[in-house]
Structure 1
């Protein structure tokens, strides 16, 4: 065994002994746990971050949501839509006959064949431009938004918070969650941006102001 490897293993064993014998250390909590931005400024901050991440962002009122979604689907020639089972049917009134609720028992590979998927969201952090989806009826199963190439996500104004700690507080640690900040992208290879590698390359966010 090489000297370098022996040293690495020695340090690992030493660290393990310390972790078993050391007294419990409380994690420091001296950080901002509440936001200082609210109202229209909060929405503006989230929109700014999402646009910077190359997401397509639309804003509308609750009354305009159905028409806004119809315009998005028409613009992208969506003929085959799958939506999270908890989505309000009234929202899809203009897309009747071309949409179906996702079946959690169905083969997730089939989702690669649909034109788009539609979900709600749990909470969004304006400071980081992060949208959280929590596995359930409104956000769907995790595969619903990780397999298809296009994701349309509804973000309600009352679900937008300023900082990360506020976002974490709204999440249920017992449920699978997905955090998204713009379309799926990576720059791992020669710093060249490639989209759609491990999720949708097209993210459309519809922010409902009321």
Structure 2
């Protein structure tokens, strides 16, 4: 028996797994009378504003402008960039193939200049982008190890507020919530970026 199996076995003995029907009933019983969204109009403008507040770069582009914008963003940062499987080929149509490496091993991520991914959803109220690491997003390490992260967000992926976004997500997926570049502050409130993830975050908002 592995250490993992031993730990999970202990948890099961403390809290035996409930049947699916019981879990669904408990979930349905949660009070959801709260306000689901605080904004009806200007959702994309609000999202762009909140993303910029986190010191992330954000650029509004059309679908036709997207390949050129991706190519320009990657060319501006010398080095090779990770591209996850499932990322739409059209997004990379103008990018130099020499700058791209597809599905790199986790051990190789630290030596890359950055990564370009899609996302699962975005939240206008908080300026947050959510990755569920499905097709076009890659494993969690891909969004945490490289120093630069370029994320493509489409207009239909932007929810007004947190409850609306959560309804679009599968809680069984490994969700990563991104609100600006990685940053932390010490006891003197000196801000340091890039400690726990990318030092630089850029967002291309396609509308």
Counterparts of 1:119 and 1:91, CA distance in 2? 10
**TM-score normalized with structure 2 length:** 0.81
Find the structure with the greater CA-based Rg.
1
Is the contact between residue 121 and residue 153 of structure 1 (CA under 8 Å) also seen in structure 2? yes
Counterparts of 1:34 and 1:201, CA distance in 2? 31
After TM superposition, give the deviation of residue 34 of structure 1 in Å: 4.0
After TM superposition, give the deviation of residue 27 of structure 1 in Å: 4.5
Counterparts of 1:161 and 1:175, CA distance in 2? 18
Instruction: Specify whether residues 194 and 68 from structure 1 end up closer, same or farther in structure 2 by C-alpha distance, changes over 3 A only.
Output: same
**Which structure 2 residues correspond to residues 155-166 of structure 1 after superposition, within 5 A?**
155-166=153-164
Which digits, 9 at most, give the CA deviation of each residue in 1:33-74, with x for residues without a partner? 245324xx1111011111110001111111110101111122
After TM superposition, give the deviation of residue 112 of structure 1 in Å: 1.0
Task: Say what the alpha-carbon RMSD is for the aligned residues.
Answer: 1.6
Is the contact between residue 67 and residue 91 of structure 2 (CA under 8 Å) also seen in structure 1? yes
- Aligned equivalent of 2:183: 185
Which digits, 9 at most, give the CA deviation of each residue in 1:138-191, with x for residues without a partner? 211101001110000000000001110011111111110100000000124321
**TM-score normalized with structure 1 length:** 0.80
Unaligned runs of 5+ in 1: 1-23
Which digits, 9 at most, give the CA deviation of each residue in 1:81-124, with x for residues without a partner? 11121111222122223212114xx2x23201111100001110
Counterparts of 1:97 and 1:27, CA distance in 2? 51
- Aligned equivalent of 1:7: none
From 126, 129, 146, the equivalent of 1:128 is 126
Give secondary structure in 2 for the equivalent of 1:94.
coil
Is it true that 1:118 corresponds to 2:119 in the alignment? no
Give secondary structure in 1 for the equivalent of 2:142.
helix
Structure 1 stretches (4+) deviating beyond 4 angstroms?
Answer: none
Count how many residue pairs are aligned between Structure 1 and Structure 2: 179
- Aligned equivalent of 1:102: 103
Counterparts of 2:152 and 2:176, CA distance in 1? 15
Is the contact between residue 35 and residue 161 of structure 1 (CA under 8 Å) also seen in structure 2? no
Is the contact between residue 80 and residue 98 of structure 2 (CA under 8 Å) also seen in structure 1? no
